[in-house]
Structure 1
Amino acid sequence: MKKLPIGIQSFEKIREQPDQFYYVDKTPFVKKLVEQGGGYFFLSRPRRFGKSLFVDTLRQAFLAKKEYFKGLYLENNWDWNTAYPVIHISFGSGVLHSLEELAIKMESILMDIRNEYGIDYEKLSVNDRFMEAIAKMARKYGQKVVVLVDEYDKPILDNIANKSLAIEIREKLKNLYSVLKDADVHLKFVFITGVSKFSKVSLFSGLNHLNDITVDARFSSLCGYTEEELHSVFEDRLADQDAAKLKHWYNGYAWLGERVYNPFDILLYFDKKTYGSFWFETGTPRFLIELLMGNHYPIAKLENLVIGEEIIDSFDVDRILVEALLFQTGYLTINSVVTDMLERRTYYLSYPNMEVKSSLNRWILNALVQDVVVKNETENILIKAIAEKRPEDLKDIFHRFFASIPHDWYRKNELSGYEGYYASIFYCYFAACGFEIRAEDATNHGRMDLSLFYDDICCIFEFKVLENAGEGSAMAQLKDRKYHEKYQGSGKEIYLVAVEFSKKDRNIENFEVEKVS
């Protein structure tokens, strides 16, 4: 039998066409969760990572559908003699634009439970009938109930740009989920999953025993493909493929454990046989971009973002932190973690891979520059200038580009005096083009604004706004602080690039390049 992507993909198709699919067996995690004790679990993962598929795997296991697990780990490691009633709630399909649509969806969920298990409701409110369903199912079947909630947060995230509506939707969902606390005596197992990680207080009030396995090395590869899984399952598909390039493009997601590939990307890559931003293009990060721009966020900082556990552990409509949003939606991932003497964790985040880094910076660049046609033309000329070791050409390239931005756009955004804005333009261009770049790269003399590497060339950039610093200060700082010494002996040609902007003219005023001998 050939194999399916992640866990069990399509139970019917396994029987009908057993030789058509591949699988990566994630069923050991089903057994592992049950053995953990407690029975209440929460998992946050980015979209298109196989969350819904794993929820369905849990559902079939608790329903004791052994025929769907032939050849999988769970076939011989599960009690198939005991079936449990399962409530499966999903907010994954469609977009709910109002409280009325949410109410209709909740009513539909309750009707599905009634039709599947023959439950007659006597109560009127959604939360009362949800409790009624759990209690009556437990009594009717003589077994505790399993509750699986998929995409629990989607109605909120669909309306995240409308704060008041998002809060109202959150409160309605909170009313539904709060039933799980009082229904504890009737529950065997609860699994809740979604993209974001709202605090227990804001959405899961009273569920103090909810075990959050989002950032847990034991469950880090529950969704996604590990390196070993990719090569053992898709060995025939990887023949004649550039494994290092595939890893560079699609691997890199980490939640303290082993890094994993995005499964959506891998399957589409095998289908199309070309590299593309498959996962990125399934969602539009418009709200995220607006947050970044509205906060004048230094984009280069995303290359190596340092945050505390209080940020990575919480997200709420009342106080949306861009760092938490970037991490939970999959645009940044955990690169490393440091624990201090008080067991507090500091997380170092970065882009997971080339797809995300290049695509996100293209989106940011589009928001920063407005003129997409000029942007694309600039990219092509820029790549050639770096490849041919002509960093001095960057002056004319970027000067023409900044000149193409209407002054009215600056007036509306008030960014002409924002040094980080100009630096972000350079950073986003280089990142979108796929160059290796390092922002705020540390030396024993301070931090470089930006360093770029390509083949045997290294360019070290310093950015200044003339109204904030004197003329010539950018090159003076590059020389005084001897940033280049960090890369001497690397075999690369090193160039110092000093870029000074005029707030008045909204463009490059001085541009100096010196090659380090």
Structure 2
Amino acid sequence: MTHSSLPLKLPIGLQNFDGIRQDDYLYVDKTQIIHDLVTTGRYHFLARPRRFGKSLMLSVIKHLYRGDRELFKGLWIESRWDWAKTRPVLHLSLNDIGFKTLGLEAALLSELQLQSSQWGIQLQEEGIARQFRELLRKLAHQQGSVVVLIDEYDKPLTDYLDDIAQAQANQQLLKAFYSILKDSSVHIEFLMMTGVSKFSQVSIFSDLNHLKDITQHPRYVALTGYTQQEVELYFGERIAELAQQSKRSVEAQLALIREWYNGYSWGQDVKLYNPFSLMSYLDTGQFNNYWFSTGTPTFLLKLMRQKWLYEVDEVEVDELAFAAYDLTDLQVYPVLFQTGYLTIKQQNEFNVYRLGYPNREVKESMLRYLIAEIQHTEASIGTPMVLQLRQAFYQNDMDSLIRIINSIFRNIPSQIFIAEAESYYHSLIYLVFFYLGQYAESEVNTNNGRLDCVVKTDTHIYVIEFKLNKSAEAALQQIRDKGYAEKYLMDARQKVLLGVNFSSTDKAVKDWDTDFII
């Protein structure tokens, strides 16, 4: 580590603590919370979305137990750790073992051989489970009780969610492999496992009954990710420079950064930033989609299509949604939450959770892909259409609005067009409206029922009802009869009642009608 007046470099995508510290990259000091973690329990599991700092956190723990004091110079833990007490560290990252090319069993065997050779240990048993047990036993006998760090424990599962047969085969191998951890507990000083999801039937949650899941533990919510305080402390100078370049106040710049990249929550009041997105923005100075673009959720979109669930913002789930789930029965909301596309917005005293998009980056990106998924087009195609639709709403141009809606449905291939599903029409139009950046709501509760959709602009409130193979007048009459617009009467904006009737035969809007409330 050198000492320079130049600002430390941003460690975008870097996961090795030693490289970050030795090559003058910035490190947000998490050693106080890590100290709490390693001194208050022996077996821990943490689930966080990809690119959220899990691998770096494990790298810190590895160098802590190795006694690499020089890497911790100036950090909170430097004067609070017994550096004379070192432990052998077995660090396995299932993301890096090459299971896609070798196959999981061969990849694990190769990794065990590599790890054992680093300690001068000869493995004589056969099979991944027996060799893992042998390595732990011999390493503990040779060096003392072992620190076991397993990163991306579920990678061989999450990479094959679109191939359930292969995922299940990998699941059985992992079950045998991880079951050794229970039998070898006498040799283990400390165990930390990380992943994206909690899967049942891989033995770690059933067999390791003393494994502590800290995913939603109040003390460890900020173990990875950045808090608002950390962002302002460690990146304040960069943010001030960007504010000056953009001719904004620092407060306004911080507000924009929060809107784009903050918002991740695991049930506490603390809202976290995705480190990868935040640092990518600070590097370029451009508000863009960074995290989402590194891993397009193809499988998730497929799952949402299978379950016919596209409107996933502001949904309610109970605490069972956060339990370990089965590969053969994946549910949309828990998967979206665990993979980081939804986050906890609110929790009540009955442990009912409201989930929603964490921030603008995820929301805009997800909606773009959802629109493309329903239309069966490329995600980039929808952007000009959305801009045209936005202009139509702002200009209160209903003719253009209907013309654009018809163009959306004309783009859908006939062979996949769902002729009689009213929810299909409703979901696609709602997603497009929501992507406008307007305040759009779907299936709004009123005193007399549920209104299909509301879109708000600076000057108008559009109260919209959709019908399929009926009539626009029937849709409009339902708005009047149910009094759907009454909840907006005190609002000064003009209220536009819009009834839209789709024809499944024509694959288009057959007729539409409007009424106005001043």
- What TM-score, normalized by structure 1, do the two folds share? 0.91
- The aligned amino acid for 1:30 is I
Q: 1:251 — aligned with what? A: 262
Q: 2:40 — aligned with what? A: 36
Deviation at 1:203, TM superposition (A): 5.0
Say whether the 8 Å CA contact 1:66–1:80 is kept in structure 2: yes
SS in 2 for 1:306: strand
Q: 1:311 — aligned with what? A: 321
Say whether the 8 Å CA contact 1:146–1:189 is kept in structure 2: yes
Alignment of 1:165-314 (within 5 A): 165-199=166-200, 204-239=205-240, 240=243, 242-257=253-268, 258-297=270-309, 299-300=310-311, 302-314=312-324
Change (3 A) 1:29 1:101: same
Q: Deviations over 1:340-390 (max 9, x none)?
A: 3xxxx2211111111111111111111211344863442221121123233
Query: Is 1:492–2:493 an aligned residue pair?
Result: yes
Change (3 A) 1:374 1:113: closer
Distance in 1, matches of 2:189 and 2:77, equals: 19
Distance in 2, matches of 1:374 and 1:223, equals: 35
Distance in 2, matches of 1:461 and 1:392, equals: 15
Change (3 A) 1:67 1:147: same
Distance in 2, matches of 1:67 and 1:8, equals: 18
SS in 2 for 1:303: coil
Deviation at 1:108, TM superposition (A): 2.1
Change (3 A) 1:14 1:377: closer
Q: Paired residue for 1:370, among 376, 380, 401?
A: 376
Distance in 2, matches of 1:166 and 1:275, equals: 36
Say whether the 8 Å CA contact 1:174–1:204 is kept in structure 2: no
Distance in 2, matches of 1:261 and 1:137, equals: 39
Deviation at 1:492, TM superposition (A): 3.0
- Runs of 5+ consecutive residues of structure 1 not aligned to the other structure: none
Q: Paired residue for 1:395, among 369, 391, 402?
A: 402
Q: 1:409 — aligned with what? A: 416
- The aligned amino acid for 2:389 is L
Q: 1:135 — aligned with what? A: 137
Change (3 A) 1:321 1:13: closer
Q: Deviations over 1:301-359 (max 9, x none)?
A: x121111221222222121111111111111111111233xxxx221111111111111
SS in 2 for 1:81: coil
- The aligned amino acid for 2:265 is A
Query: Is 1:339–2:360 an aligned residue pair?
Result: no
Distance in 2, matches of 1:95 and 1:500, equals: 53
Q: Paired residue for 2:367, among 346, 361, 371?
A: 361
Say whether the 8 Å CA contact 1:45–1:330 is kept in structure 2: yes
Q: Deviations over 1:389-429 (max 9, x none)?
A: 3345311111232234332232xxxx221111111111221
Change (3 A) 1:94 1:394: farther
Query: Is 1:350–2:356 an aligned residue pair?
Result: yes
Query: Is 1:386–2:398 an aligned residue pair?
Result: no
- The aligned amino acid for 2:28 is V
SS in 2 for 1:223: coil
Distance in 2, matches of 1:200 and 1:74, equals: 37
Distance in 2, matches of 1:93 and 1:488, equals: 59
Q: Deviations over 1:4-23 (max 9, x none)?
A: 659986424534x54xx322
Name which of structure 1's ranges 373-382 and 476-485 shifts more when overlaid on structure 2.
373-382
SS in 2 for 1:193: strand
Q: 1:108 — aligned with what? A: 110
Q: 2:340 — aligned with what? A: 330
Name which of structure 1's ranges 275-284 and 2-11 shifts more when overlaid on structure 2.
2-11
Name which of structure 1's ranges 223-232 and 108-117 shifts more when overlaid on structure 2.
108-117
Q: State how many pairs are aligned.
A: 499
- What TM-score, normalized by structure 2, do the two folds share? 0.91
Say whether the 8 Å CA contact 1:303–1:438 is kept in structure 2: no
Say whether the 8 Å CA contact 1:5–1:24 is kept in structure 2: no
SS in 2 for 1:245: helix
Query: Is 1:46–2:49 an aligned residue pair?
Result: yes
Distance in 2, matches of 1:137 and 1:194, equals: 25
Deviation at 1:444, TM superposition (A): 2.8
Change (3 A) 1:371 1:120: closer
Distance in 1, matches of 2:473 and 2:100, equals: 54
Say whether the 8 Å CA contact 1:215–1:255 is kept in structure 2: yes
Deviation at 1:89, TM superposition (A): 0.5
Distance in 2, matches of 1:332 and 1:423, equals: 22
